[in-house]
Homo-oligomer: A and B are copies of this chain.
Amino acid sequence: MSGISNLSCNNEVERGPQPHIELRVVVFTLHQDHLQTLLSPSDPAIFPNCWEFPNFPVLPGQALEQTAESCLKELLNVPELYLEQLFTYSGPKRHPTQSLISVVYFALSPLDSHPLEERKASLLWQPANTPPPLAMDHDEILSYALRRLRYKLEYSAVGFELLPETFTLSELQKTYEMILGETLDKRNFRRRILQGGIIEPTEDYRSGEGRPARLYRYRPDAVAEVKARRLFP
């Protein structure tokens, strides 16, 4: 403990051992036109037929964010991914037998990530909007992560993190529509994203059923945050 001792507090609440800390990660990806999240089966003795978000070790010599990032990259076989802190959950009712503090991170994995390694076969991508039963408060965590994803999509460029390096404007628009759950106007979508300087065209085209579509690339140097509309002038 650094500095002065804890400030006293007259709460009549049981003291006792420190709660256990754990590190969890909510990862989203797009797969088969659906938003998916990575889940791990729960211990059937405690939470039968339930799933939970992946649990990584809390290492004293490493920041939680670093641990989450390197474990995830190894697990998913991707060189880069988007990662940020989601929330820290605490409270006595979260687990039946122990006091538990969960520091939860939020990650996005690009569409072309390799399938999971065999030795991690217990982990499965599951549909994020219709997940299987989740243990503890992980349903609450999932809905908060989905809210965060939708919200971030509206004011930042986070959507590109779910796509491969190059993509067509239609693919990008479909990604946004899938996550936001609404359809967008094609011309307005294109105008805004192109004027924003967030993506740049490549020289390549992708041939599909109709006319080939130009491929674009995300510009990582772009200033992607849009300032919120201020409540006051």
Query: Which residues does A use to contact B, with CB under 8 Å?
Result: 1-11, 13-22, 40-43, 46-47, 52, 54-67, 70-71, 74-75, 85, 87-88, 90-92, 95, 98-101, 103, 120, 122-123, 135-136, 151, 153-157, 176, 184-185, 188-189, 192-193, 196, 226-233
Contact = CB atoms under 8 A, between A and B. Distances in A.
Secondary structure call for the A interface: loop
A100 B196 CA distance: 41
22 contacts: A1-B20, A2-B43, A4-B42, A6-B55, A7-B71, A8-B57, A9-B70, A9-B74, A11-B62, A15-B60, A17-B60, A19-B58, A85-B87, A154-B227, A154-B228, A155-B230, A176-B232, A188-B233, A189-B233, A192-B233, A226-B231, A228-B229
Nearest to A94: B63
Nearest to A156: B231
A74 B10 CA distance: 8
Nearest to A92: B61
A129 to B, nearest CB: 20
Contacts of A196: 231
Given A4-B41, A7-B75, 8 more contacts: A3-B41, A3-B46, A7-B120, A13-B67, A14-B61, A15-B60, A61-B99, A185-B233
Nearest to A41: B4
Given A55-B4, A100-B2, A14 B60 contact: yes
Nearest to A58: B18
Contacts of A47: 2-3
Contacts of A20: 1, 18
A145 to B, nearest CB: 15
A158 to B, nearest CB: 10
Contacts of A63: 90-92
3 closest A-B pairs by beta carbon, nearest first, are A63-B91, A60-B99, A228-B228
